[in-house]
Chain A
Amino acid sequence: AQKVTQAQTEISVVEKEDVTLDCVYETRDTTYYLFWYKQPPSGELVFLIRRNSFDEQNEISGRYSWNFQKSTSSFNFTITASQVVDSAVYFCALSEALDSGNTPLVFGKGTRLSVIA
């Protein structure tokens, strides 16, 4: 069975601080995808990144970066120089990778990030 654990329920930082959101996953699948989604106070779910299990390269997008380590089954997310607009709930998710058709996401419980001005 697949499982995603986000041990940090809530994090509060002061603006301009760096913050890392942890994600640990469990799966028996040999190929899978990992995701991060952002849910701002308005409630929608915004896709941030997808990573294939074969691709362990770290990725950077502006102030966002992701560290995928298969050896520790972790897919951590770092926000550099946090801003108030980063305040949201962040979800890590996992799905099986099939040759055809998409499969459902298994979500972690989310980490609520509050960035204080």
Chain B
Amino acid sequence: DAGVIQSPRHEVTEMGQEVTLRCKPISGHNSLFWYRQTMMRGLELLIYFNNNVPIDDSGMPEDRFSAKMPNASFSTLKIQPSEPRDSAVYFCASSPEEVPQYFGPGTRLTVT
């Protein structure tokens, strides 16, 4: 079974540019989570979906962040415009019911 797939693995962009991170969850998993990892704040939830429906986006830091899940096999996290403080590792995780979350390899974002 393929695990959670994230792309790109690394992204370097300039401040003000739009960034789109992509996630393909494990087939059959009905929950999808986006987390961000920084040295200062650790691992924190940004948003999560159950059955493609956003349940809690209270962790999305600002209106510059948006996430979509148009179908069960794809989700995007968009930052527009990006800022240096958005530099972090962004993880996508998926899970079916009653099973732990499985994480993708992460996208390391650097905004200069």
Given A45-B91, A47-B101, A50-B100, CB of A107 within 8 Å of CB of B50: no
Nearest residue in B to A46 (C-beta to C-beta)? B103
Q: A110 near B97 (CB under 8 angstroms)?
A: no
Asked whether A44 is an interface residue with its Cβ less than 8 Å from the other chain, the reply is yes
Q: How far is the CA of A42 from the CA of B33 in the complex (A)?
A: 21
Which residues of B are found within 8 Å of A62, using beta-carbon distances? none
List B54-106 residues whose CB lies under 8 Å from chain A.
55-56, 89, 91, 93, 95, 97, 100-103, 105-106
Given A104-B56, A107-B43, CB of A45 within 8 Å of CB of B50: no
Asked whether A77 is an interface residue with its Cβ less than 8 Å from the other chain, the reply is no
**Could you tell me the distance in whole angstroms from the C-beta of B51 to the nearest C-beta in chain A?**
8
Given A104-B33, A104-B48, CB of A47 within 8 Å of CB of B100: yes
Q: How far is the CA of A106 from the CA of B56 in the complex (A)?
A: 14
Interface centre among A37, A45, A102 (most CB of B within 10 A): A102
Q: Place the interface of chain A in its size category.
A: 20 to 34
Which residues of A are found within 8 Å of B91, using beta-carbon distances? 45
**Could you tell me the distance in whole angstroms from the C-beta of B101 to the nearest C-beta in chain A?**
6
Asked whether A68 is an interface residue with its Cβ less than 8 Å from the other chain, the reply is no
**Could you tell me the distance in whole angstroms from the C-beta of A2 to the nearest C-beta in chain B?**
11
List B5-50 residues whose CB lies under 8 Å from chain A.
30-31, 33, 35, 42-45, 48, 50
| 17 A-B interface contacts by CB (under 8 A) | A33-B100, A37-B103, A43-B105, A43-B108, A44-B106, A45-B91, A45-B103, A47-B103, A101-B55, A101-B97, A102-B50, A103-B48, A104-B48, A105-B35, A105-B101, A109-B42, A110-B42
Question: What is the interface of chain B, defined by CB distance below 8 A to chain A?
Answer: 30-31, 33, 35, 42-45, 48, 50-51, 55-56, 89, 91, 93, 95, 97, 100-103, 105-106, 108
Question: What is the interface of chain A, defined by CB distance below 8 A to chain B?
Answer: 33, 35, 37, 43-47, 50, 91, 100-110
